[in-house]
A and B are shown apart, each in its own frame.
Chain A
Amino acid sequence: MSTTDAPVTTTEPSVLPDGWELVVGLEVHAELATETKMFSPARNTFGGEPNTNVHPVCLGLPGTLPVVNAKAVELSIRIGLALNCTVQRCVWARKNYFYPDMPKDYQISQYEEALNVDGWLALASGSTIRIERAHMEEDTGKSTHMGASGRIHDAGYSLVDYNRAGVPLIEIVSKPDLRGPEQAKEYVEELRAILVAIGASDGKMEEGSLRVDANVSVRPTGADELRTRCEIKNVNSLRSLGRAITYEARRHVELYGAGERPIQETRHWDEEGGRTRSGRSKEEAEDYRYFPDPDLVDIDPSPGWIEEIRASLPALPQARRAALIEVGAGAEAAAIAVERQLDGLAVAAIEAGADAERVLTHVANNLAVDGAESLDAGQFADLVRMEMSGALTATQAKQVLADMVESGRDPATIAADRGFEAMDSSELETMLDEIIAANADEWSRFCEGENKLQGFFTGQIMKATKGQADGKVIAQLLAAKKNA
């Protein structure tokens, strides 16, 4: 797969007036699934009593020094490889700004040389989103604002908890390749699926271990300019992400419509108000004075280490979908199968000779149950084969399948137990003759071409066989009799 600059598109209906195009880039922060923090031996655990997961190093006490957590580096390289990035020698840099949640009043991050660069992520819906970089950095603590006590002079205050300070983060920055809120949500879902699949992060947006900032701008459809963007923060769910992007993009279109233009700033999503609000845009004051952190040395991953990590990567969602499409699945069916973790079963069954469409229909409609993944692929294939041969009706197959998941028995045995013997056509023919005799008038009209009566006769036979007959076989019989 190549990462050409081919224009990215989305099939979703535009949320903007005709003539306007949405341009979105996402910055996703994910907390890494390590035992300890990025540079300190304090525990990396969610929640807990305030300031209980701390150590002199992550409290930034005078004289303390950071030492890099090897596991965090390994997980970050896993992420880089999963996102098709180039993994390279990188430099730790200090991002300087005063912030009470940040014990050293600088954040250790990566600036000029990041660990992972120039990757891409393929979406199930078809487009490829380019990844600019995925760099390592440390998280900040959290402060809680305590409201004014009511006394006039009390403007309230904040309490700071450093449990989260120094938790290892990866920041994944996409190119401005996303064209709609649904596509942006799909990108985050896909990214999340990858992070979870490779064990790099638990990806829990609700717990804040996955956080998304959106850089939103608009432009005339088809233009390739990039107009002023706003960075939207405080987006805490996929739903909010879609709403925030749509709101912000429409705001930009309105501004341009009114002959104004948006100013580059950080804005915050207000879930209740359903709108973005301007954060402080202290442009001239924002000067982070990045420089190489003299307390840390470069990471220079050896080719051997990188290949070792690459070899340990599990199959990724995109490859698993591709494998299904390879054996004849449609894009949507493949996506569902992978989402349900049933893609392995489906591929095996199809490779065992079962009809792909039938297999995926069962996966999509009849296997949304616990234990489905432990179904024996060979037996699943047998079932589909019996169904295709007419030995079982769709209804019967569904019942047998459910039984298979529950009991683990093979389809033939189950069908026999339940007396699902599809009867042979000679039996059916005698039955049909009786029915024709009993309904001579309808039969003659049918023969004269009143085709809707086909349903009437089929229904009569089904009734007589308590639904055990195969619809296709009945149709063949009726046709034969009619033309006899």
Chain B
Amino acid sequence: MAPLNRDDVAKVAQLALLNLDDDEIDRFTGQLAAVLDRAAELEAFDIADVPRTAHPYPLVNVFRADVAEESDDVRAEALAAAPEAEDGQYRVPPALGEEP
């Protein structure tokens, strides 16, 4: 695995919608590289046929009944928290590009 470089960090910051200046990119590159270097110890494990664990407590088929819960007040409280709202809708600057 090639060591982490500034370009990787810049690309990742872009994916995560974080604006970093050059100093921040330098600093974060070093700090993240340290974590990734240590993570090389994970390569010591023989995981050839070991499955991944996504949930520490095994459960399947957890469902809810298809029954509606009204919540008018919640709707109002939620909208009240919006940085910008108009006619009961959330207002945002114009979009660039469409939904993938």
Contacts and interface: CB of A to CB of B under 8 A. Distances in A.
Q: Do chains A and B touch in the complex (CB under 8 A)?
A: yes
Contact of A99 (B69, B90, B99): B99
A100 B67 CA distance: 27
B22 to A, nearest CB: 21
Interface residues of B, number: 37
Nearest to A302: B61
B95 A282 contact: no
B17 A42 contact: no
B65 A70 contact: yes
A59 B61 contact: no
A42 B70 CA distance: 7
Q: Is the interface of A mostly helix, strand, loop or mixed?
A: loop
Contacts of A55: 69, 71, 74
B67 A36 contact: yes
A51 B88 CA distance: 7
Contacts of A296: 62
Interface in A257-311: 266, 268, 279-280, 282, 285-289, 291-292, 294, 296-301
B88 A292 contact: no
Contacts of B68: 35-36, 41-43
Interface residues of A, number: 61
A268 B75 CA distance: 34
B15 A285 contact: yes
B89 A41 contact: no
Contact of A67 (B17, B62, B91, B100): B62
Interface in B58-93: 59-69, 71, 74-75, 78-79, 86-93
18 contacts: A34-B66, A49-B88, A50-B88, A56-B78, A68-B63, A71-B65, A73-B63, A99-B100, A101-B99, A157-B92, A158-B94, A159-B89, A160-B91, A268-B98, A285-B14, A298-B61, A299-B61, A300-B61
Closest 8 CB pairs of A and B: A71-B66, A41-B69, A70-B63, A159-B89, A280-B97, A292-B54, A160-B90, A300-B60
Interface of B: 14-15, 17, 52, 54-55, 59-69, 71, 74-75, 78-79, 86-100
